[in-house]
């Protein structure tokens, strides 16, 4: 399996139109996948999801109208409706806000720099664990803009933001978290897009954590060897700072205030993965290489709650989560390594921004 790779340029609408035309099939996979997920996990029909997304679209029209123009271009290029694109760009707010289910199995993130790495190399990496319904929707998008940083992201087709890095040396990582209250803020995917357009680490933090907030953990890592993470729960934000050149996260709140404020039951997978990644990083601390990080993303300790997450074919289709890709961004060399599907079953291919 190899992800489609595209390049978009021009005005926001022109970029979106190209994106939609080149990824029409993959966008339809995104729509079908989220239609099933919304219905089966939240009891929300696709039409209701479209109606919910109107609120988030209105926020973007006021705050980031260029994003709406890009989404309009994506919709026209893919020959779907704008609200179809808006609905799955609001997936976090629809699925993870007001969440009754608290066991989120989605992603192990790693931010590494001196003194943890060999030669002070700066690395941002992640296993993206999510529904296998969306494996065939994943694409690599290179975005070139006239007055903002250029960037590359890996994302479900039709999303305007994703996991990636820009030409200013900033990488963006994501962990899904959940909250029991509604989200009334700028959609998470738009926040990630804004962070990918940041020129400084401070700007990435401000753009990602703007109020009113959403729900997730985001990590921004800069090539100079500094990073910041921040957990959001729809009402507040808690920053996370690296220790000894290391910042790792899974899918439960770990900030002292956030941890106490949230129900922390039923998070076996997240606790096990966090324990394991901390152990692996500690074992190689001071000499971690890109090859070491590849091995970390392939790790199966604690299976089935392992860093490399495998699909359980006995589960109902909607519950079949797995690692859909592993990504390593080498900010010291301005390149990334991508392994489609489970990293233990595929090779990491090198890409330049």
What confidence tens digit (pLDDT) does each residue in 19-75 have?
999 999 999 999 999 999 999 989 999 999 999 999 999 999 999 999 999 999 999
Residue 101 has a pLDDT of 55
Indicate the DSSP class of residue 106.
-
Question: Whole-angstrom Cα distance, residue 288 to residue 295?
Answer: 11
Q: What residues make up the domain containing 14?
A: 4-352
Average of per-residue pLDDT across 252-259: 90
Q: What pTM was estimated for this model as a whole?
A: 0.96
| Stronger pLDDT, 225 or 183, i.e. the higher one | 225
Contact 123, 219 (CB under 8 A): no
Contact 131, 320 (CB under 8 A): yes
Instruction: Return the percentage of the chain with pLDDT > 90, whole number.
Output: 86
Residue 264 has a pLDDT of 54
Residue 347 has a pLDDT of 97
Does position 104 have pLDDT exceeding 60, yes or no? no
Is residue 352 very low, low, confident or very high in pLDDT (cuts 50, 70, 90)? Answer: confident
Give the closest residue to 177 by CA, choosing from 272, 283, 264. Answer: 264
Give the closest residue to 145 by CA, choosing from 16, 11, 5, 21. Answer: 11
Name the domain count of the chain: 1
Average of per-residue pLDDT across 298-314: 94
CA atoms within 13 A on the CB side of 172: 36
CATH of the domain at 330: 3.60.60.10
Does position 319 have pLDDT exceeding 90, yes or no? no
CA angle 106, 320, 95 (to 5 degrees): 50
Residue 274 has a pLDDT of 96
Does position 228 have pLDDT exceeding 90, yes or no? yes
Per DSSP, which regions of 182-320 are E strands? 215-222, 226-233, 237-240, 246-249
Picking from 18-32, 98-112, 145-159, 239-253, which range would have the lowest pLDDT averaged per residue? 98-112
Residue 102 has a pLDDT of 47
Residue 265 has a pLDDT of 53
| Stronger pLDDT, 189 or 315, i.e. the higher one | 189
Question: Whole-angstrom Cα distance, residue 351 to residue 334?
Answer: 9
Does position 100 have pLDDT exceeding 70, yes or no? no
Is residue 294 very low, low, confident or very high in pLDDT (cuts 50, 70, 90)? Answer: very high
* pLDDT tens, position by position, 152-191: 999 999 999 999 999 999 999 999 998 888 888 999 999 9
């Amino acid at each position: 399996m190899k992800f489609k790779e595209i390049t978009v340029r021009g005005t926001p609408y022109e970029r979106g139109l190209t994106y939609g035309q080149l990824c029409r099939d993959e966008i339809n996979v995104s729509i079908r996948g989220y239609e099933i997920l919304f219905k089966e996990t939240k009891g929300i029909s696709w039409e209701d999801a479209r109606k919910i997304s109107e609120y988030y679209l209105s926020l973007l029209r006021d705050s980031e109208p260029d994003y709406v123009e890009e989404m309009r271009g994506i919709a026209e290029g893919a020959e779907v409706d704008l609200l179809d694109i808006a609905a799955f760009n609001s997936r976090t707010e629809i699925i993870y806000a007001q969440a009754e289910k608290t066991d989120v199995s989605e992603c192990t993130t790693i931010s590494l720099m001196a003194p943890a790495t060999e030669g002070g190399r700066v690395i941002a990496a992640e296993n993206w664990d999510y529904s296998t319904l969306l494996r065939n929707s994943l694409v690599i998008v290179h975005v070139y803009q006239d007055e903002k940083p250029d960037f590359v992201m890996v994302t479900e087709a039709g999303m305007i933001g994703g996991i990636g890095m820009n030409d200013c040396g900033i990488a963006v990582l994501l962990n899904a978290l959940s909250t029991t209250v509604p989200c009334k803020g700028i959609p998470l995917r738009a926040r990630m897009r804004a962070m990918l357009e940041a020129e400084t680490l401070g700007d990435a933090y401000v753009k990602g954590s703007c109020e009113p907030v959403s729900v997730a953990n985001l990590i921004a890592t800069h090539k100079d060897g500094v990073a910041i993470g921040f957990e959001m729960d729809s009402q507040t934000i808690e920053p996370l700072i690296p220790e000894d050149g290391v910042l790792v996260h899974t899918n439960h709140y770990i900030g002292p205030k956030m941890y106490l404020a949230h129900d922390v039951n039923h998070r076996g997978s997240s606790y096990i993965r966090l324990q394991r990644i901390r152990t692996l990083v500690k074992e190689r601390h001071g000499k971690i290489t890109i090859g070491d990080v590849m091995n970390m993303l392939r790790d199966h300790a604690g299976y089935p709650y392992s860093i490399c997450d495998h699909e359980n074919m006995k589960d109902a289709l909607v519950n079949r989560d797995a690692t859909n890709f592993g990504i390593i961004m080498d900010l010291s060399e301005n390149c990334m390594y991508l392994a489609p599907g489970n990293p233990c079953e595929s090779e990491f291919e090198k890409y330049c921004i």
